Amino acid sequence: MVTMTFIRIDVRGGKEYAYEVESYWDRRIKSPRQRRRYLGVVVDRKNNVFEKKRVYKPERLILDFGDTFVLDNFFKGEGFSSFLEGVFGSDVGFVKVLSYYRLCYPSAMRYAKTWFDGNYVSVKFSGVDLSSQRISDFLKVLGKEELQRKFFSAYLQNFSKNREGVIIDATSLPNQIHIPLSAWGRSGEEIDKQIRFLIVVERKTEEPLFFRYYEGNIVDVSTLRNTIVELKKFGIKETYVYIDAGYFSEENIKELYKEKMNFLTRLPSIRCLYKELIDAEVKDLENPKNFVRYGKRALFIKQKTVHLFGKKIYTHIILDPERKAREIKKMMIQTDDEKEKHDKKEIFYKFKTKGIMILVSSFPLNKKEVVPTYYLRQTAEKIFGYTKNDLEILPLRVHTKETLKGLLFLQFMTLIAYIKLKKKLGNKHTVEELLQTTRNLKCKIYDKELIIGEMTQQQKQLTEKLKIIVPKNMGI
Domains and CATH numbers, the chain: 3-51 (no CATH), 61-142+403-475 (no CATH), 147-320+355-397 (3.90.350.10)
Angstrom distance (rounded) from CA 100 to CA 337: 53
Task: State the pLDDT at residue 55.
Answer: 53
Within 10 angstroms of residue 97's Cβ, the number of other Cβ atoms is: 22
- Residue 434's alpha-carbon distances to 207, 413, 418, in angstroms, are 20, 19, 11
Task: State the pLDDT at residue 278.
Answer: 96
Give the contacts of 116 (CB within 8 A, at least 6 positions apart): 97, 101, 122, 128, 130
Within 10 angstroms of residue 5's Cβ, the number of other Cβ atoms is: 11
Task: State the pLDDT at residue 18.
Answer: 83
Task: State the pLDDT at residue 327.
Answer: 93
Q: Give the DSSP H or E segment for 96.
A: helix 92-104
Q: Show the DSSP H helices in 269-377 as ranges.
A: 272-281, 321-338, 344-353, 367-374
Task: State the pLDDT at residue 149.
Answer: 95
Angstrom distance (rounded) from CA 338 to CA 108: 46
Task: State the pLDDT at residue 59.
Answer: 61
Angstrom distance (rounded) from CA 185 to CA 177: 14
Task: State the pLDDT at residue 159.
Answer: 81
pLDDT tens-place string over residues 342-384: 788 888 899 999 999 999 999 999 999 999 998 888 888 889 8
- Chain centroid to Cα 434, Å, comes to 15
* pLDDT < 50: residue spans in the chain: none
Length of the chain: 476
